[in-house]
Amino acid sequence: MAEVTYEGATCIYQGAAKPAVDGLHLAIKDGEFVVMVGPSGCGKTTALRMLAGLEEIDDGSIRIDGNDMVGVSSRDRDIAMVFQNYALYPNKTVGENMGFALKMHGVEKAERARRVRDAAKMLDLEDFLDRKPRNLSGGQRQRVAMGRAIVREPKVFCMDEPLSNLDAQLRVQTRTQIAELQRRLEITTVYVTHDQVEAMTMGDRVAVMRSGQLQQFASPTELYDHPANVFVAGFIGSPAMNRLDGTLSPDGVKVGGATLRPAEALLRAAQGHGQLVAGIRPEHLAIGEGELQMQVDLVEDLGSDSYVYGHLTGDAKANIIVRSGRDHPRRGDDIKIAIDTSHLHLFDAGTGLRIDE
């Protein structure tokens, strides 16, 4: 159990023009489950590895329980890491894999066996303790990787995309198991993924990263309802939020041919920003009488709902997604859309930052 703090942590690879992680500030509470999410190359994995001691901290610092980890090697940090490809020791059995760290710390054989058995029971691995990794399925290997981390009762769990090599169904199942496990063990966890669904469902708080820089660090709900910039707005939520170019006008925001009228306070705050990006989620648009006109390109019928993809009539580049029900329009249809302006987000087109009332 420990607090983890990134204080302006920076990592730059030799010969690279830009830092992989640029001045990251994160204050992670004891026992919290934090997810770092972002597209490929955003620096989330590097940030995690800096915490684990596998990448150098070139500037700033990272503290665990107040202790500066600069110059401290991985084996002295009391961190357990679950790797994307599991990194199980191929020449050792499952039991030996799980007990390895304890052996390195001089824990007695009997005590080791007991702790390994307890962890194995938690993960349903008791029957596999004598098998070698090559004789295990992907899902079993993943559990062994988790077990290896759990057995140690470390200060922090670091998990690097542990679900990405599992098939879709197993992924959903394991996701809930990991979240449950963490809640039970109450160990501070930093979890990296590129899948925003995992981020939204598992994290107490989520750090969205892009190009080495932190975009926003907040609870999933907060990220969803109040994204800090256009990037977060488009990254969180699937299908993505609609982001349309707009300009400020005396009585509202001009988008496409129509003028949208957001709340007074928001409109007032938007004064002075000439070019805007208007954001509205697919579920906050409705097909029916409304301000905007759209041409349907494609409909995805998912059974429970459907998503209608298209563009603003007259502007092929202004893409729109509308959530609909079983009864949805067809491809090529021209439809009208109504906007729920209480859920309209406004961002400055230049900086991308959110305009808050």
Partner 1 sequence: MTALAPAVTSARPARPRLDARRQGWVRRAPLLPALVFTIIVTQLPFLVTLYYSLESWSLVRPGSQHFAGLTNYLDVFKDSQFRQTAVNTVIMTGGTVIIAMVIGVALALVLDRKFLGRGIVRTLLITPFLIMPVAAALLWKTTMLDSTFGVVNFVLRPFGIGHFDWISRFPIESVMIEMIWQWTPFMMLLVLAGLQSQPKDILEAASCDGAKPVAIFRELTLPHLRRYIELGVVLGAIYVVNDFDAVYMMTQGGPGISSANLPYYIYQRAFLGFQVGQAAAMGVVVVVATIIVATFALRLIFKTFSGTEQAA
Partner 2 sequence: MASAEQIRTEPGLLTGAAVEPAHRRKRRRTNSTSWGIVGWVAGILFFFPVLWMVLTSFKTEAQAYTNTPNVVFSPTLSQYKTVFSSGLWPYVANSAFATIVSTLLVLLLATPCAFALSLRPVKKTRDVLFFFISTKMLPVVAAIIPIYIAARDLHLLDNIFTLVILYTAMNLPIAIWMMRSFFLEVPGELLEAAQMDGAPLRRTMTEVILPVVAPGIAATALICCIFSWNEFFFAVNITATEAATVPVFLVGFISSEGLYFAQLAAAATVATLPVVLAGWVAQRQLVRGLSFGAIK
3-state secondary structure (DSSP) of residue 121: helix
Least distance CB 261 / partner 2 (angstroms): 51
Least distance CB 36 / partner 1 (angstroms): 18
3-state secondary structure (DSSP) of residue 105: coil
Amino acid at 193: T
Residue 258: in which H helix or E strand, if any? strand 258-260
3-state secondary structure (DSSP) of residue 322: strand
Q: Count interface residues toward partner 2 (CB under 8 A).
A: 16
Given a contact cutoff of 8 angstroms between Cβ atoms, the answer to whether 133 and 141 are in contact is yes
Instruction: Judge residue 205's burial from the number of C-beta atoms within 10 Å of its C-beta, 0-12 exposed, 13-18 middle, 19 or more buried.
Output: buried
Of 62-70, 81-89, 210-218, 346-354, the segment contacting partner 1 by CB under 8 A is: 81-89
Of 50-58, 136-144, 261-269, 290-298, the segment contacting partner 1 by CB under 8 A is: 50-58
Of 71-79, 162-170, 332-340, 343-351, the segment contacting partner 2 by CB under 8 A is: 71-79
Site for partner 1 in 136-165 (CB under 8 A): 148, 152
Site for partner 1 in 52-71 (CB under 8 A): 52-54
Answer whether the bond into residue 239 is a cis peptide, omega within 30°.
yes
User: Can you tell me which of 54, 72, 197, 269 binds partner 2, judged by CB under 8 A?
Assistant: 72
Q: Report if residue 58 touches partner 2, rule: CB under 8 A.
A: yes
Q: Report if residue 213 touches partner 1, rule: CB under 8 A.
A: no
CA 165 to chain centroid, in Å, comes to 17
Residue 119: in which H helix or E strand, if any? helix 109-123
Closer residue to partner 2 (CB): 10 or 188: 10
Closer residue to partner 1 (CB): 77 or 205: 77
How far from each other are the two terminal CA atoms of the chain, in whole angstroms?
38
Residue 98: in which H helix or E strand, if any? helix 94-104
User: Contact residues for partner 2 (CB under 8 A)?
Assistant: 10, 56-61, 63, 66-68, 70-73, 76
User: Contact residues for partner 1 (CB under 8 A)?
Assistant: 52-54, 73-77, 79-81, 83-85, 87-92, 100-101, 104-105, 148, 152
